[in-house]
Chain A
C-alpha cells in the first residue's frame, strides 16, 4: 500500500503560518469559527467541499494543494509516464527522497511529450499541406522540362535552328518559373517554421492562458468582447490565436448573456443547481455549465471544474477541479459522462461519480450542436461537462478514473490499456 500523504489540516496550518496570519483572522475570512479551524489544523476534523474551498481562497492557494499536497500532481505525472510496472509502487519513495530529481524527471517527460506532439504536427503539415504540395509539383515540373530540353540541345548539336530557338525559349520560361516556385516554397517554409517556433500545442497554449486566470477572465467580465484582442496578444502562435479567439468570443457571449453578478446571485438562490439556473435565466445548459466554471474563486462559491470535447472525444478545454484529476498524458477515462452525452445530443446527464481516489462529485453533462442547423452541412456536436464536489451517499455513484494509465480499477470493463499501478490500490488522501 502507498504511504498516506501528509495531512490536510497540517498543510493548512503550515500555509497560514507561512503567510503570518492569525488563526482567528483566517477563520473569520473563511466563515468558520476559530475553534473549528483549530480542530481542523490539528487534523481532528475531516474537511472537503465548501469549507476546503473557502480556506484555500483565504490562504490564496489551490484547494488541491491543501487536500492532496503539492506532490500529488507530480506523483500522478510520474505514474503516467511509465510504460510498464517498473517500480511504480516506490514512486512516493522517489518523490520523498529525491524531490528535485523526481521533478526533473517529470519535467523531461512533459518536454518529450510536447516535442513528440510538435514533431507529429510538423509531419502532418509536410505530408498534407496542399500549398507545399502544389509548390513542389511546380518545382519538379519546371526542373523536368529544363532537364529534358537541355539534354535534347546537348545530345543534338545539329538540331534545326527553329527547334533550337524554341527550346532556348522553353528553358528560359521554365527557369523563370523555377525561380518563382522555389522562392514561393522557401517563403512558405519560413511561414511554417515561424508558426511552429512556440513549440506548443495551440490547445495547450489556450488552456494555459485560461488557467493563468483561474478560468475567470476579469477583463472580459468587465469590458466584454473589446478585451479579446489584448488577451490574444499573449498567445504568440497564430494557430493558438485563432483557437483562442473562438474560445474568448464564446466566453464574451456567455458573459454578455449571463453577467456574473446576477448569475452568482441567481446561483445562490438555487444552490448553484445547473438545471434550475438554466430555467431561471433561460440560457442553454452548456452555457450555464461554462458560467459555473467561470465563477471567480472566492469564499462562498462552489468550485466547478469543466471539460468540453468534440464528437471524437478529443478534449478541447479542461478546467481542473480539486480532487477530480484530469490526465496530463493520454486520453481521459471513457466513463466520464461528457462522453456519454455525445451519444444523445440535447439530452442532459446528471450523474454522481466517485473517483479512484475516493472523491465524490456531482457531474452535469450535455452535448449540443455547434452552429446553425443546415440541410447541407454535417452535424457538429460538442459536449460540455461540469463537476462539483458533493457530499452524501455514494451508493449509486459511477466509479470513474482520470485515465487508464493511473487508474487502479483493474477490472474496469472500459479499460483500454494496463494500469501502471499494477494492482496496487491507492489510499484516499487522509483528511
Chain B
C-alpha cells in the first residue's frame, strides 16, 4: 500500500486541485471537509502526512493541531498547515502548537508537493515558504 495523505479542507476546488496533484504523485488521498471530527478522522486514516486548513466549519485548524499534538498516539505526525491567514501571529501560533510546516495560500503546486514528500520521508521540515 502506498503513502497516504489526509486532506482536511473545505474549499471544493482547492480539494480537487490538491487531490489531483497528490494522486498523480502516487499518494492515496483521504478527505475530511470540516473541523468537527477531524481528530477522529486522523486516528481512523492513520496517514503519513496531514494537510490541514485553518478556517474550517465547526472548529479551527489551530484547535485540531493542538489536540493532535496532545494525543499520545502519534505526537510526531507530520502536519502541513495550509492557510489564507498568513499573518505573523497565525504563523507563531501554529508553531507554538507544533506544526511541521506552515504554508500560505496561494501556494505553488511544486512547493506544496515537495513539502509533503519531505515531511513523509522525515526530512527536516523546510522553512515556512
Instruction: List residues of A whose CB falls within 8 A of some B CB.
Output: 136-137, 140-141, 143-149, 151-152, 155-156, 163, 166-167, 170, 173-174
Q: Are A152 and B21 in contact, CB atoms less than 8 angstroms apart?
A: yes
Question: 8 A–B contact pairs at CB < 8 A?
Answer: A136-B84, A141-B14, A144-B84, A144-B106, A145-B13, A148-B18, A148-B21, A152-B20
- Judging by beta carbons under 8 Å apart, are B11 and A141 in contact? yes
Contact call A163/B20, Cβ cutoff below 8 A? yes
Closest to A133 in B: B85
Most buried by A among B13, B18, B109: B13
Q: Are A144 and B16 in contact (CB under 8 A)?
A: no
Do A143 and B105 form a contact, CB below 8 Å, given A137-B55, A137-B84, A137-B85? yes
Cβ of B105 and Cβ of A152 under 8 Å apart? Answer: no
Q: How many A-B residue pairs have CB under 8 A?
A: 54
Instruction: Give CA–CA (A145, B21) in the complex, Å.
Output: 13
Look across to chain B and name the residue whose beta carbon is closest to the beta carbon of A147: B106
CA gap between A151 and B110 in the complex, in Å: 9
Residues of B within 8 A of A136 (CB): 84
Q: A170 — nearest CB in chain B belongs to which residue? A: B13
**Size bracket, chain B contacts:** 10 to 19
B15 to chain A: closest residue by CB: A145
Q: How far is the CA of A141 from the CA of B53 in the complex (A)?
A: 11
Nearest CB in chain B: distance from A373 CB, A: 35
- Are B107 and A141 interface neighbours, CB within 8 A? no
Contacts A141-B105, A148-B107 hold; do A166 and B16 have CB atoms under 8 A apart?
yes
| B17 contacts A by Cβ under 8 Å | yes
Which chain A residue lies CB-closest to B17? A148
In the complex, the answer to whether A140 meets B13 with C-beta atoms within 8 Å is: no
Q: Residue B109 contacts which of A152, A167, A174 (CB distance < 8 angstroms)?
A: A152
**A151:B16 contact, CB within 8 angstroms:** no
